[in-house]
Chain A
Amino acid sequence: MTHHDAIIIGAGHNGLTNAAYLAKAGLDVLVVEKNDYIGGAAVSREMTNGYWYSSCSYVCSMMRQVIHRDLNLTKHGLMLVPYLGTAAFGKQGETVLSYTAEGPAYNEIKRISPHDADAMMRLMADLERYSTLIRKTLLRTPPDPTSFKPRDLMELLWLAKTFWEMGEEELYEYIRFFTMSAAEFLEDYFENDFIKAMMATPGIIGTALGIYSPGSAYILLHHVMGDVDGNIGAWGLARGGMGAISNALAGALQEHGGKIRTEAGVDQITVKNGKVKGVVLENGDELTSDIVVSNLDAKRTFTKVMNKDDLPPGIHKKAKNFKIRGSSGKVNIALSGIPKFTGVPDNRYVNRGGQAFIGGLETLERAYDHWKRGEWSADPFIESVIPSAWDPTVAPAGNHWMSNFIQYCPPKLADGEWTPEKRDAFGKTVIDKIERYAPGFSNLIVHMEIRTPHEIENEVGLTEGNIFQGELTIDQLLFNRPFPGYAQYRMPVKNMYMCGSSTHPGGGVSSACGANAAREILIDLKRPNTVPEDDCYDD
């Protein structure tokens, strides 16, 4: 029986980040992964000959630059490529191309509404200010508001000061932004329905809320606070697919002597006398360690791999009530050529960026109504990107693959569980919508992988297929994430920690949760803190 200093459960990006920092600090670490590949939801998988799908997560922006540099991920093969824009499609076939360059972006919106073109500049400036503030909290451990410990009080004071320094007027605006719905918040900026809808879409991605649900504006912010090489709000692709991120993190981990064991699903975390002892694998192997770090979501950690009797009273109930709702699906499509979208000029570089099939505000909200009723959206919001247009390594020459993220798709249908037939019908809904904007699209399809929350949960292990490991609503943010009293990565059993997106600062391929958890572990071990605190791009 081998013994390790620390066992990390789950080789997703946060687990690998956490393990890499612990290994870097000199610990003997082992990452155990249930699948025969690493990466969790940040993977590149060859599902059909020569096409490498980023099966789940498909674009990257939230990766903390400071971690990227600190763990030397470039050396381990990670290269982020910003993509240059998105073509958004409205219900009457109208198209807006968004460019990262300010001038063309302004002119494009002016074509639809001069008022909204000005408003867009205003919104972008506002979002940048708001996100700068939020970014300062990402690589910090949330304070406990009920605690009188000096560290917590200092951190609370720091938070209060940071917000107070915004100035009174900004602060009021910020509170509005934090609590309102994305659609209502954007009412103040724009007049055109389609522009509003286009800007509101990040507010619903991955969440069981609609654009008119209060709280969706924060989720919008969560999606625009990232950056690619310091370019705030930009999105990029990892060359080689999202698996490149996981592979680079694994490279960093192995460089520092850490080990990974795949096909090693954990059956049980063993606890003795209120102290964690190690894990028992599904194949019966027993591994022991001083520390166990769970990169699984909070619900799975406490209701699936832990024994209720090992937990203090109340925790099991908290985990059961943890909101982790499946709301999105994914359809990955191998194509024999690049689709031609109506209204997008040929040879324009946005044609090689992303696509957003939207409709209008009402289309988006009605898509949510379907989810509430336990149906997939009849006219869904689809966010797509054709990574092969940028990255020749992910599809055979001349061919392409297209990633389609679909909102909404429920984890369970009103008429029962998912079946292969229903899954295919869901896929058809998606294809039909794209076909409306790209006639002839379906003729290009070579292979298709349809993933409902059901498939995502079964394969990746995310409860209900929730991409954020838990809803990003205020009751589950900052010191409330995953539960009040347990937001500092330490869990109720001694020497046990959590490092997944169920912890602060939440979902997205950011590596922040894993890094923050490593910091707390090192503090507890009284080792020098080698985890970076602040993102230097903030100031």
Chain B
Amino acid sequence: MSTADAIVIGAGHNGLVCATLLAKAGKTVTLLEANASAGGLAAPRRLQGGFTIPMAHSTPALSQTIIDDLSLTSHGLSIGPALETVGLGEDGQHVHVLGDQVTGATASDAAAYPAFRQRLLRFAKPLRKICEATLPRIGSSSLKDALIYAQGALNLRRLGKEDMEEFLRIATLPMRDLVDEHFEDPKFQALLCWDGLIGSKMAPRSPNHAVLPLLFKMGGVHGGQHCVPQGGAAGLTAALVSAAQAAGVEIRLETPVQNILVAGDDVGERAVGVALADGEELRAPMVVSSADPKTTFFSLVGATHFDVQFTARIKRYRDQGYVARYHAALDALPSIPGLDDLSGRLLIAPTFDAIEFAYDDAKYGDPAQHPVMEITFPSVHDASLAPEGKHILSANVMYAPCDERTGWSAETRARFEKAVTETLERYMPGLADLTTASELITPKDIAEAYHVSGGHWHHGEMALDQMLMMRPTYPAAQYKTQMPGLYLCGAGAHPGGGLTGLPGRNAAREILK
């Protein structure tokens, strides 16, 4: 039986960040990962014929604070420039967005965009501080805690009266209304919606939960624009692993945790270590889980160790994923009429309604008949992912419910894959002939392969009632849980998902307190 100061479960990016920061503070840390490679949902997959496909093809929200705190640059991380986002048109007329620059939309849209984006970036600034803070319980009567909220309110007021009023108004707007107020070009409108919706159970017309997560993302290195780190998402993972190892973290791959060990005495229960699937037991006074809340509390600890109100709250935590992934190995890059440069992030979502109606199918438990998607060609950025001259296509496809009506029968799966490939073919004529191998990964597959309840990207909906001091739920939102010795450091904790690394960082700070 080995011992450590802390055991971190799951070598996803948050687990890596948390483990590294704990080790840097002088703790001995063991990091356990069930899969054969680190990276969690950002880890790569293989496709027949020597292709490697990253599960996360780009990142919008990586935090500069994390890069600095972990000196990731010295561990080989190069985050790469911001990607151009391209709203594809079937007719070869595309909308291109990079920074404040818009081409392909109407002149008035292009003229209005810089002010719109700059305003959102101004809003994102005070929120970045909130993302990096531990938000105290609202019931707390401590003056210090109250000051954190007062400071937040003051930072908002510092934006100025007009901006603060606008922030309070738009914070709960549906993406459609937010965008519709300023822009008129259908493709451009849909493109601007996308980042507020992707990963969630939200459509353009859904109020309340889209704008804040979008603003959270805009606190990332490129102001919310996507980028591909050198070496892809694997490059980010490699840098994180290197930083962890340099800090002295012991990383054990292919070491699935069976359960978290709990010991009781007359004071109560506490987490004392973990039992591995092979029967080995590891002891540590601190067990930190980067798994999602349901997995942590129900599968790893067990519902019987918590009071019934708490388990009821975790049970109702909404974490059904709606994004599927489609990967294809290609003999060559496809030709897209009117688009020569395929290094950007391409969106097939021509209108608000295209997204809305795709969502309408999914809300009844059916995969979208006419899916909308975000596509990149990762091999354009990293030639090592495919054999020479060949390429890979990676797509995030909306919407596909985790509990599909038929439980993703072979027939449903085939029907959905056909819908995806047919849609792609319309925008990239000849793609089918170039495809040598492909795979469709449904949220259900993600749930099973990556041990994420509901297959949700963000380990749970980024909804207002599941964010901030409520993520994942009262009273486990300050990284500590009701069980002494057990901590959360995954995307199921504030500030949530999106490859920021901040939940892991904030958790480490709380653990070290």
Cβ-based interface call for A349 (8 A): no
Pick from A168, A175, A372: contact of B137, CB under 8 Å: A168
Say yes or no: B356 contacts A176, CB within 8 Å. no
With known contacts A146-B157, A168-B474, A175-B464, A473–B172 Cβ distance under 8 A: yes
B161 CB contacts on chain A under 8 angstroms: 146, 485
Cβ-based interface call for A118 (8 A): no
Q: Which residue of B lies closest to A471 (CB)?
A: B207
Pick from A169, A179, A372: contact of B208, CB under 8 Å: A179
Q: Complex Cα distance A377/B309, Å?
A: 40
Cβ-based interface call for B280 (8 A): no
Cβ-based interface call for A535 (8 A): no
Say yes or no: B169 contacts A171, CB within 8 Å. no
Q: Complex Cα distance A439/B363, Å?
A: 33
Say yes or no: B363 contacts A365, CB within 8 Å. yes
**Main secondary structure on A side of the interface with B:** helix
Q: Complex Cα distance A179/B465, Å?
A: 7
Cβ-based interface call for B448 (8 A): no
With known contacts A171-B138, A175-B464, A372-B356, A475–B172 Cβ distance under 8 A: yes
Say yes or no: B360 contacts A213, CB within 8 Å. no
Q: Complex Cα distance A478/B360, Å?
A: 31
Q: Complex Cα distance A175/B161, Å?
A: 25
Say yes or no: A167 contacts B139, CB within 8 Å. yes
Pick from B205, B464, B465: contact of A213, CB under 8 Å: B205
With known contacts A175-B470, A179-B208, A168–B164 Cβ distance under 8 A: no
Closest CB in chain A relative to B224 CB, distance in Å = 21
B464 CB contacts on chain A under 8 angstroms: 175, 179, 214
A365 CB contacts on chain B under 8 angstroms: 363-364
B208 CB contacts on chain A under 8 angstroms: 179, 214-215, 473-474
Cβ-based interface call for B510 (8 A): no
Cβ-based interface call for B91 (8 A): no
Q: Complex Cα distance A167/B475, Å?
A: 13
With known contacts A372-B356, A480-B169, A484-B166, A209–B470 Cβ distance under 8 A: no
Q: Complex Cα distance A175/B353, Å?
A: 29
Say yes or no: A369 contacts B360, CB within 8 Å. yes
With known contacts A474-B207, A474-B208, A180–B172 Cβ distance under 8 A: no
Say yes or no: B207 contacts A214, CB within 8 Å. yes
Pick from B165, B181, B209: contact of A146, CB under 8 Å: B165
Which residues from 434 to 491 on chain B have a C-beta closer than 8 Å to any C-beta of chain A?
463-465, 470, 473-474
Say yes or no: A184 contacts B165, CB within 8 Å. no
Q: Which residue of A lies closest to B172 (CB)?
A: A474
Q: Complex Cα distance A484/B177, Å?
A: 16
Q: Complex Cα distance A357/B469, Å?
A: 40
Q: Complex Cα distance A369/B360, Å?
A: 7
A282 CB contacts on chain B under 8 angstroms: none
Say yes or no: B168 contacts A145, CB within 8 Å. yes
A180 CB contacts on chain B under 8 angstroms: 463, 465
Cβ-based interface call for A321 (8 A): yes
Q: Complex Cα distance A415/B279, Å?
A: 67
Closest CB in chain A relative to B104 CB, distance in Å = 25
Interface size on A, residues (CB 8 A): 34
Q: Complex Cα distance A175/B138, Å?
A: 12
Say yes or no: A212 contacts B172, CB within 8 Å. no
Say yes or no: A175 contacts B316, CB within 8 Å. no
B345 CB contacts on chain A under 8 angstroms: none
Closest CB in chain A relative to B169 CB, distance in Å = 5
A352 CB contacts on chain B under 8 angstroms: none
Pick from B181, B318, B474: contact of A172, CB under 8 Å: B474
Say yes or no: A479 contacts B168, CB within 8 Å. yes
Q: Mark B142-166, 1 if CB is under 8 A from A, else 0.
A: 0000000000000001000100111
Pick from B139, B164, B170: contact of A475, CB under 8 Å: B170
Cβ-based interface call for A188 (8 A): yes
Cβ-based interface call for A191 (8 A): no
Closest CB in chain A relative to B306 CB, distance in Å = 15
A213 CB contacts on chain B under 8 angstroms: 205-207
Q: Complex Cα distance A169/B313, Å?
A: 11
Say yes or no: A146 contacts B363, CB within 8 Å. no
Cβ-based interface call for A187 (8 A): yes
Pick from B364, B463, B473: contact of A179, CB under 8 Å: B463
A321 CB contacts on chain B under 8 angstroms: 177, 181
Say yes or no: B207 contacts A209, CB within 8 Å. yes
Say yes or no: A168 contacts B165, CB within 8 Å. no
Closest CB in chain A relative to B456 CB, distance in Å = 15
Q: Complex Cα distance A187/B139, Å?
A: 26
Cβ-based interface call for A323 (8 A): yes
A187 CB contacts on chain B under 8 angstroms: 316
Cβ-based interface call for A538 (8 A): no
Say yes or no: A175 contacts B165, CB within 8 Å. no
Q: Complex Cα distance A484/B162, Å?
A: 9
Say yes or no: B139 contacts A171, CB within 8 Å. yes
Which residues from 327 to 373 on chain A have a C-beta closer than 8 Å to any C-beta of chain B?
362, 365, 369, 372
Q: Complex Cα distance A474/B137, Å?
A: 23
Say yes or no: B166 contacts A176, CB within 8 Å. no
Q: Complex Cα distance A98/B430, Å?
A: 60
Closest CB in chain B relative to A520 CB, distance in Å = 19
Cβ-based interface call for B21 (8 A): no
Closest CB in chain A relative to B81 CB, distance in Å = 35
Say yes or no: B173 contacts A475, CB within 8 Å. yes
Say yes or no: A214 contacts B164, CB within 8 Å. no
Say yes or no: A146 contacts B164, CB within 8 Å. yes
Q: Complex Cα distance A369/B359, Å?
A: 11
Say yes or no: B181 contacts A168, CB within 8 Å. no
B353 CB contacts on chain A under 8 angstroms: 372
A212 CB contacts on chain B under 8 angstroms: 363
B166 CB contacts on chain A under 8 angstroms: 484
Residue in A175, A188, A209, A483 whose Cβ sees the most chain B Cβ within 10 Å: A175
B202 CB contacts on chain A under 8 angstroms: 214
B316 CB contacts on chain A under 8 angstroms: 187-188
Q: Complex Cα distance A213/B318, Å?
A: 14
Q: Mark B341-385, 1 if CB is under 8 A from A, else 0.
A: 000000000000100110010011000000000000000000000
Q: Complex Cα distance A179/B137, Å?
A: 19
With known contacts A175-B464, A475-B173, A214–B474 Cβ distance under 8 A: no
Q: Mark B191-216, 1 if CB is under 8 A from A, else 0.
A: 00000000000100111110000000
Residue in B157, B318, B464, B473 whose Cβ sees the most chain A Cβ within 10 Å: B464
Pick from B173, B205, B207, B318: contact of A184, CB under 8 Å: B318
Q: Complex Cα distance A372/B360, Å?
A: 10
A167 CB contacts on chain B under 8 angstroms: 139
Say yes or no: B139 contacts A179, CB within 8 Å. no
A164 CB contacts on chain B under 8 angstroms: 138
Known: A179-B463, A365-B364; 12 extra A-B contacts, CB below 8 A, are A145-B168, A168-B137, A168-B139, A179-B465, A209-B207, A213-B206, A214-B202, A215-B207, A215-B208, A365-B363, A474-B207, A475-B172
Could you list some 28 contacts between A and B, CB below 8 A? A145-B164, A145-B168, A146-B161, A146-B165, A164-B138, A168-B474, A169-B474, A171-B138, A171-B139, A172-B465, A172-B474, A184-B318, A188-B316, A209-B207, A213-B206, A215-B208, A323-B177, A365-B363, A365-B364, A369-B360, A372-B356, A473-B172, A474-B207, A475-B169, A475-B171, A475-B207, A484-B166, A484-B169
**10 shortest A-B CB distances, which residue pairs?**
A168-B139, A484-B165, A474-B172, A214-B208, A176-B465, A179-B464, A215-B207, A172-B474, A146-B161, A321-B181
Interface residues of A (CB under 8 A from B): 145-146, 164, 167-169, 171-172, 175-176, 179-180, 184, 187-188, 209, 212-215, 321, 323, 362, 365, 369, 372, 473-475, 479-480, 483-485
